[in-house]
Amino acid sequence: MSKSIKVVGVGGQGTILLAKILTTVLVNAGYDVKMSEIHGMSQRGGSVSSEIRFGDKVNSPVIEKGDASILVSLEQMEAARHIDYLNKDGILIVNNYKIHSMVTLNGKVKYPNNIIDELSKQVKTYVVDGTKQAIELGFDKVMNIIILGALAKALGISDLKWEDAIKENVKPKFLELNLKAFRLGLSQVN
Amino acid sequence: MKKILSGNEAVARGVYEASVVFASAYPGTPSTEILQNISTYKEIYSEWAPNEKVALETAIGASIAGGRSFAAMKHVGLNVAADPLFTFAYTGVTGGCVVVTADEPGMHSSQNEQDNRNYAKFAKIPMLEPSNSQESKDMIVDAYALSELYDSVVLFRMTTRVCHSKSLVEFKDRKEVGIIPYVKKFDKYVAVPAIGRSLRHKVEERTNKLKEYSEHSKWNYVVNNHAEIGVISSGVSFEYANEVFGDTVNYLKLGFTYPLPEKLIADFCDNNKTIYIIEENDPYIEDFARSLGKKVFGKDLFPYTGEMTPDVIKRAVLGQNFESLVPNPELFVGRPPTFCTGCPHRGFFYELGKKRKKIIVSGDIGCYSLAVGEPYNMMDSLICMGASFSAGHGMQKIMDMKSDDDRRVVTVMGDSTFFHTGINSLINTVYNNGNTINVILDNRITGMTGQQDNPGTGFNLSHESSVIMDIEKIVRALGIQHVRRVNPNNLQEVKETINWALELETTSVIITDWPCKLKKTYNDDDMVKYDKMWQTKDMVLEDKCVGCKACLRSGCASLVFNVEKNKTEINSNTCVGCDVCKQICPYDAIVKDDRYV
């Protein structure tokens, strides 16, 4: 059996690094892992996603709708857009942050304001103030690592060496900050 | 050692292990990272070419001279490289040569969905199709052995998911084969008609030998699960089929797919009650099976376009999918890709947009194609790399025949596209007394594919300094008299220049000159030329903003309109102080933020 985790966000938010660390930790733990992402055009402020599947043996590198046990969204509206990938018994982890798209920026359409309330009615949802906490830590870009911490907790697999995996994937001068962010994220999910 | 690699990284590793000494490519999603990864192996000489034709031709030369060589391109790139490919198919190789085509079922970042497996059949060259990263590496190594054994360039067909998905790969060491001493082979490489005619017979003999090989190739095999249903598949579709059917069906997995194994396919069809052929894009295997008189399910059941992901297979064969939550369409709106904050294309398209009724815009492939969307809505056409100048020239010639329509054609392309094939198109316009307004959006880098250097940037793939090809000098050397270089972030300058060009009745060129916000490497000259680049920020004076939304027409993602306050706000985390919005604001409500000057 394989398990699927989908990570979504907006180009530039760090979905790829988050997915890379998750992949590293699973590979290091001996799982068969496949990870899929689309890059190219969509990185320019568009909607982006990475898909991670792991288990004893994984065939398809892509996740089917209704198959993800965890959906991680670094942005509110992206969680709503991709919610159909989540299994109805799955977990949503969402960064409590809005990024406008061209159509909401210019006020033509309003950015929906009840996303998190509505989604929490549909599925088990953990809301993390990742962006706010990252700014408080002194660097808004570590938001993705705070969310990774929340994911690590929600995933609930013991014996995964998360901090080693972070070390493998971030520059040494940012390591301490990233570890701090990760630990902060861990404490957000009960 | 096992590592998790993307298909592109695995191909690079395979190229290394296969003792390749020369590699070239032009960037193109989803193939770009192959050459970038190859360039990290010091044993392989690698270079960016200005286009795919040149990339393949250099690889051909390297092969003729005795080195194992490699070229990679996206699917449409192979159209550009088709000319040398078809004759190289006749001559064969000295050092082994492999060409990667990275196809895009579903068109994630492409203008069409062509199935380049047809090229193998068309050019009569052997083809391999990997399903995952391990195969991507192992097949590349084998492709070089096949290339030299059968004296042919090998086509290596990947797709987006094989290129960009990651899976575990077992490494091997590089096995040095060295460079074969050069011997002049007139009858092999000088493809004049007389020699071409004799080579044509050699190609036929080779194809017959390859047909025999295909029947026994280790890449073509049956997985017998003692079921009654058989699935024939290749590439990533094989992984998808396995996901759906597991061990409930038998499989014929095809990895060597030109020439296809006639007997193997016929026997598999005969040994199973029902046959499904699961492949992305064209019914390539299906047509072959039908030509053998076999009854199969293929594109009559599966969609003719898009990816054959597990959900698609399940819907087609089983008629059902996983139960899933239903997204509430009121909770999200579209989020198309857009120009980055600080993108130098923004100021130009803002000003060009004001002339919308007087012009037709002939577009091209690159980041500026994002000007198709809100708020610019700029492109009238977009065909292929380099076409904006030439298609625009053709459009203008017709517009000029109309007495009741005096619209001018403005053509736009980037610096890398200009070097790719734009130069030829511009030569045509000048030579044929055209009168288009040709804009080269020079952002000093190849942007869309992720910051690759090009002949205009002053660096090559090895990060060595190289000659900076001055676009203005090139354009003037072609004989164009009317050339202006502008700072696209200076709206007054852009406006005056567009008006100047519209007044002219002959070919003109406007070069917008400002670097891409994402550009990482600069020359010393650049640092002087682009003074205070990205070092400042703009802000809105709340008391002066009247909520007129004029600034939003710049299309900058750092501007947020606060509906409650009826005022624009600037995101100070992301603003890089390009000042485009500042110049648009009619109320002087946008100013430099003192804290960042």
Is residue A162 one of the residues assigned to a domain? Answer: yes
- Decide if B14 contacts B141 (C-beta within 8 A): yes
Mutate to test the interface with B, among A8, A41, A139 (most CBs of B within 10 A): A41
Please give the pLDDT value at position A41. 58
- Decide if B81 contacts B73 (C-beta within 8 A): yes
Domain holding B235, by residue range, is: 220-318
Is residue B329 one of the residues assigned to a domain? Answer: no
Contacts of B400 (CB under 8 A, 6+ apart): B435
Question: How many angstroms separate the CA atoms of A74 and A13, rounded?
Answer: 7
Is residue A105 one of the residues assigned to a domain? Answer: no
Inter-chain residue contact A77 with B373, CB threshold 8 Å? no
Q: Among B29, B333, B448, whose Cβ lies nearest the Cβ of A109? A: B333
Is residue B72 one of the residues assigned to a domain? Answer: yes
Is residue A104 one of the residues assigned to a domain? Answer: no
Q: Among A32, A35, A45, whose Cβ lies nearest the Cβ of B340? A: A45
- Which of B80, B71, B140, B174 has the alpha carbon at shortest distance from B424? B80
Same domain for B42 and B184: yes
Q: What share of chain B is helix, strand, coil (3-state, %, to 5)?
A: 40, 20, 40
Question: How many angstroms separate the CA atoms of A87 and A71, rounded?
Answer: 9
Inter-chain residue contact B242 with A60, CB threshold 8 Å? yes
Same domain for B232 and B210: no
Inter-chain residue contact A110 with B563, CB threshold 8 Å? yes
- Tally of domains in chain B: 4
Q: Among A59, A101, A109, whose Cβ lies nearest the Cβ of B239? A: A59
Tokens found for residue A69: 């046990």
Which H/E stretch holds residue B222?
Answer: strand B220-223
Is residue B327 one of the residues assigned to a domain? Answer: no
Inter-chain residue contact B108 with A38, CB threshold 8 Å? yes
Spans of chain B, pLDDT less than 70: none
Q: Which of B299, B318, B337 is the last residue of a domain?
A: B318
Residues of A in contact with B166 (CB under 8 A): 23, 33-36, 61
Same domain for B225 and B183: no
Looking up residue B558, the CATH number of its domain turns out to be 3.30.70.20
Residues of B in contact with A102 (CB under 8 A): 335-336, 338, 373-375, 555, 557
Question: How many angstroms separate the CA atoms of B570 and B576, rounded?
Answer: 10
Same domain for B415 and B354: yes
Is residue B95 one of the residues assigned to a domain? Answer: yes
- Decide if B294 contacts B275 (C-beta within 8 A): yes
Please give the pLDDT value at position B335. 87
Question: How many angstroms separate the CA atoms of B385 and B376, rounded?
Answer: 21
- Tally of domains in chain A: 1
Same domain for B558 and B523: no
Question: What is the ipTM score, two decimals?
Answer: 0.94
Closest chain B residue by Cα to residue A105? B560
Domain holding A139, by residue range, is: 2-97+119-186
Which H/E stretch holds residue B48?
Answer: strand B45-48
Residues of A in contact with B560 (CB under 8 A): 100, 105
Please give the pLDDT value at position A40. 59
Same domain for B248 and B311: yes
Q: Among B160, B367, B560, whose Cβ lies nearest the Cβ of A38? A: B160
Question: How many angstroms separate the CA atoms of B575 and B340, rounded?
Answer: 10
Q: Which of B160, B185, B216 is the last residue of a domain?
A: B216
Closest chain A residue by Cα to residue B313? A64
Question: How many angstroms separate the CA atoms of B51 and B199, rounded?
Answer: 28
Nearest CA of chain B to the CA of A183: how many Å?
24
Q: Among B161, B331, B375, whose Cβ lies nearest the Cβ of A118? A: B331
Inter-chain residue contact A102 with B109, CB threshold 8 Å? no
Nearest CA of chain B to the CA of A187: how many Å?
26
Which H/E stretch holds residue B508?
Answer: strand B508-513
Closest chain B residue by Cα to residue A13? B574
Residues of A in contact with B243 (CB under 8 A): 59-60
Is residue A112 one of the residues assigned to a domain? Answer: no
Looking up residue A176, the CATH number of its domain turns out to be 3.40.920.10
pLDDT in tens, A21-79: 999 999 999 999 999 987 655 556 788 899 999 999 999 999 999 999 999 999 999 99
Same domain for B307 and B269: yes
Looking up residue B491, the CATH number of its domain turns out to be 3.40.50.970
Burial class (CB in 10 A: 0-12, 13-18, 19+), B319: exposed
Please give the pLDDT value at position B225. 98
Please give the pLDDT value at position A37. 87
Is residue B405 one of the residues assigned to a domain? Answer: yes
A to B CB pairs, distance under 8 Å: 186
Nearest CA of chain A to the CA of B563: how many Å?
7
Tokens found for residue B97: 């040569």
Nearest CA of chain B to the CA of A173: how many Å?
19
CA atoms within 13 A on the CB side of B394: 7
Same domain for B125 and B39: yes
**SS3 of residue A45 by DSSP:** coil
Nearest CA of chain A to the CA of B91: how many Å?
36
Residues of A in contact with B7 (CB under 8 A): none
Closest chain A residue by Cα to residue B367? A41
Please give the pLDDT value at position B527. 82
Q: Among A32, A45, A106, whose Cβ lies nearest the Cβ of B549? A: A106
Inter-chain residue contact B164 with A37, CB threshold 8 Å? yes
Is residue A146 one of the residues assigned to a domain? Answer: yes
Same domain for B110 and B250: no
Residues of B in contact with A122 (CB under 8 A): 325
Same domain for B286 and B173: no
Name the more confident of B380 and A108. B380
Q: Which of B265, B299, B318 is the last residue of a domain?
A: B318
